[in-house]
Homo-oligomer: A and B are copies of this chain.
Amino acid sequence: MLSKNQIKEIQSLQSKKFRDKHQLFIIEGIKSVSETLEFRSKDIEHIYGTELFLNSHAKILKKTAQNFSLITEDELKKISSQNNPNNVLALCRYFEEEQDVFNLNSHFSFYLDDIRDPGNLGTIIRLADWFGVSTLYCSENSCDLYNPKVIQASMGAFLRVQLVYAPLSEIIQQKSVKAVYGALLKGKNIYKESLENGLIIIGNEANGINDENLKYVNKPMKIPAHNTNSTESLNAAMAASILAAEFFRTLKN
On A, residues with C-beta under 8 Å from B are 35, 119, 123, 126-127, 129-133, 155-157, 189, 191, 223-227, 231-235, 237-238, 241-242, 245-246, 248-249, 252-253
Provide the bound-state CA to CA distance between A231 and B32, in Å: 10
Q: Hey, which chain B residues are within 8 Å of A129, CB to CB?
A: 232
Partner of A231, one of B35, B191, B245: B35
Known: A191-B253, A248-B226, A253-B224. A238 touches B126 (CB 8 A): yes
Closest chain B CB from A121 CB (angstroms)? 13
Residue from the set A123, A225, A226, A246 with the largest chain B CB neighbour count within 10 Å: A226
Contact present for A123 and B235 (CB under 8 Å):
yes
* Additional 12 contacts, C-beta under 8 A, given A123-B238, A130-B232: A126-B233, A126-B235, A130-B233, A131-B225, A156-B231, A189-B253, A223-B245, A226-B248, A226-B252, A238-B238, A242-B245, A245-B246
19 example contacts (A-B, Cβ-Cβ < 8 A) are as follows: A119-B119, A123-B237, A126-B232, A126-B235, A126-B238, A127-B234, A127-B238, A130-B223, A130-B226, A131-B226, A132-B226, A156-B231, A191-B249, A226-B252, A234-B241, A241-B241, A241-B242, A242-B242, A245-B245
Q: Chain B residue with minimal CB distance to A124?
A: B238
Contact present for B130 and A225 (CB under 8 Å):
yes
Q: Hey, which chain B residues are within 8 Å of A189, CB to CB?
A: 253
Contact present for A157 and B232 (CB under 8 Å):
yes
Known: A119-B119, A191-B249, A237-B238. A227 touches B155 (CB 8 A): no
Provide the bound-state CA to CA distance between A129 and B231, in Å: 10
Provide the bound-state CA to CA distance between A224 and B248, in Å: 9
Provide the bound-state CA to CA distance between A145 and B238, in Å: 20
Q: Chain B residue with minimal CB distance to A238?
A: B241
Provide the bound-state CA to CA distance between A242 and B253, in Å: 15
Q: Chain B residue with minimal CB distance to A127?
A: B238
Provide the bound-state CA to CA distance between A232 and B231, in Å: 34
Q: Hey, which chain B residues are within 8 Å of A237, CB to CB?
A: 123, 237-238
Q: Hey, which chain B residues are within 8 Å of A35, CB to CB?
A: 231
